[in-house]
Chains A and B, each alone.
Chain A
């Protein structure tokens, strides 16, 4: 067993991480920190874990060295506190956006000047489906953003195969309220948020940079035109990506592209059924799981391929992705501790 600790464990991402790590066959959770809840049982912030662990929140300054450290901090804090963090563990996984983007030209328009550009190069992008071997070799991993994850896993096969127009992909993402984090704000107040379909980033969403950065690895620079709307669900991110194919394709050919690309990836499922009620991916069925479901429909009147993808933003979009990366870094079974298949009805 290895000793894992979580820096910043009172938020939703930290809570999911704790839930997954407590059930992991190879991990002992040593400490979980929260500045606000020092000394309180972790169940105070994560009531689903009551009776499941005797852990109490530690002061961040009291964290002791461990084998692997997870950073579940608000944006900017991992960078700001890096000098006090890096010596705590030989392996570090950051769930924030601080170290995801290697290129300052992609980082700065969305996040401003990077406070620690000297550290960025030490981190590997943690979405295992992009480069599993790189994650396996890494000691420092930055997990992908939730909206970037759901979009990338839908688009990747078509850009990797050079089938998509690199300038003309439109992505429409719908997200649940948990993406906004555990701290309330005027926009999350129940009378304000309940029942909404609120476009909150019609243009310029931060994760666009991440998506373009990854997809551009496979060919010419890629432009993705993304809009994100908040909808009335708690967990989940669902993307409809409108891809314009360079050459027309038949459904069987699209199936072949998806099968070839995702063969051997245990957490990506192709969901494009012609019968039943659940024909294309839906985030509700994925709550609590580390799956990303990917499906498609071809527009019979144009070269448009509509790719549908869905995840649980807190699991595959954050904590589950981090555990998957840890499994690879440690040389364990990639799926260890991530076997939950979801609930139906949920």
Chain B
């Protein structure tokens, strides 16, 4: 699939590929830090960290 553009992950600064089929509201994964990122707008591309349920890791 061709890449429309590359945006910056708001968490780690890594490259996040925005392909032509991406739509507003879609959740993407950052390959580097694993964050779930929500596409808030496409023109211009604006990404935000998607809310995730808190985990206590057994504490």
Give residues in A with beta carbon < 8 Å to B: 251-252, 255-256, 270, 272-276, 279
Contacts and interface: CB of A to CB of B under 8 A. Distances in A.
B33 A272 contact: yes
B52 interface: yes
Contacts of A256: 13
B36 to A, nearest CB: 6
Contact of B11 (A252, A270, A276, A279): A252
28 contacts: A251-B11, A251-B12, A252-B11, A252-B13, A255-B12, A255-B13, A255-B14, A255-B32, A255-B33, A270-B32, A272-B12, A272-B33, A273-B33, A273-B34, A273-B35, A274-B11, A274-B33, A274-B34, A274-B35, A274-B36, A274-B52, A275-B29, A275-B34, A275-B35, A275-B36, A275-B52, A276-B34, A279-B34
| Main SS at interface, chain B | loop
Interface in B6-32: 11-14, 29, 32
Contacts of A276: 34
Nearest to A278: B34
Interface string B26-59: 0001001111100000000000000010000000
Nearest to A253: B13
A272 B34 CA distance: 8
Contacts of A274: 11, 33-36, 52
Contacts of B34: 273-276, 279
Contacts of A255: 12-14, 32-33
B35 to A, nearest CB: 5
Contacts of B29: 275
